[in-house]
Amino acid sequence: LAAESIVNNILNKYVGLSASYWSPQPPTDTSSLFSTDVLLADGGSIDNQGLMALLRRKVDKIVVFITTNVPLKPRSEYNPFLKLPADNDIDSSFSSFFGFVDLIPDPGYDFYHNHVFSRFVFPFVVDKMQKAQAKGTGIVVKSKLKTIRNKWWGIPAGHTVEIAWVYLGRVREWEKRLPKKLYKQLVPSENEEKPNVLVNTGPFKNFPHIPTDELNYSPEKANLLASLAGWVIQQNKEVFIEMLS
């Protein structure tokens, strides 16, 4: 507890994570008020895609965007049928929906309560993603899943849901249509055919897996991300029409 208090004090002093907050009481309640330190964070710290709330409401069709800074490894480097997912194979928040969490937790996230789908179906969903990745028009795949009981989130077992997963990544067919000068800035000069290899220098370093905490996107970078996303949606428009109609 002493160590936790020291960490909290440092965060409050230098990052500004302290906030005055209280739970309102009825006017007739004369019990004594008391205060305690709690950690305030945005919803991404426990469910980065907002999926849990929709499952609790038993929504039948859901589109989930996984805008991660972790590229999906292709089948040549990661076989989901033979290997458990590591945090550099695929986004860890996605894996947590199927009961796979990091052995060493990230202090900024808590995905340990997010197991809502069977571990058995995980490699089949990832297999679809890797095939879409290899096609080069964006990682957009559908899967029909059934929930398992999650007491922590209040999600019952047996709800059937159809999900369209949209996983951020390099898109080779989009890249091939870029002007030559821009292509050289966005595509790595070595191993360019490997979708998990990113450009590591220049104004578009790590494109498109740019951390959101960078907070200083240039207009060029923001417009390129918008162009990529829009092109992927157009190439997979049948999926979105079906899911959102």
pLDDT in tens, the chain (245 residues): 455 566 566 656 665 556 666 666 665 666 666 666 666 667 778 898 999 999 999 999 999 999 999 999 999 999 999 999 998 999 999 999 999 997 776 777 889 999 999 999 999 999 999 999 999 999 999 999 999 999 999 999 999 999 999 999 999 999 999 999 999 999 999 999 999 999 999 999 999 999 877 778 899 999 999 999 999 999 999 999 999 98
- Is residue 122 within 8 Å of residue 100, measured between CB atoms? yes
- In degrees and rounded to multiples of 5, residue 45 shows phi and psi of -75, -20
Angle of helix 219-235 relative to helix 237-244, nearest 10 degrees, comes to 80
The amino acid present at 19, given as its one-letter code, is: A
The burial of 225, by beta-carbon neighbours within 10 Å (0-12 exposed, 13-18 middle, 19 or more buried), is given as middle
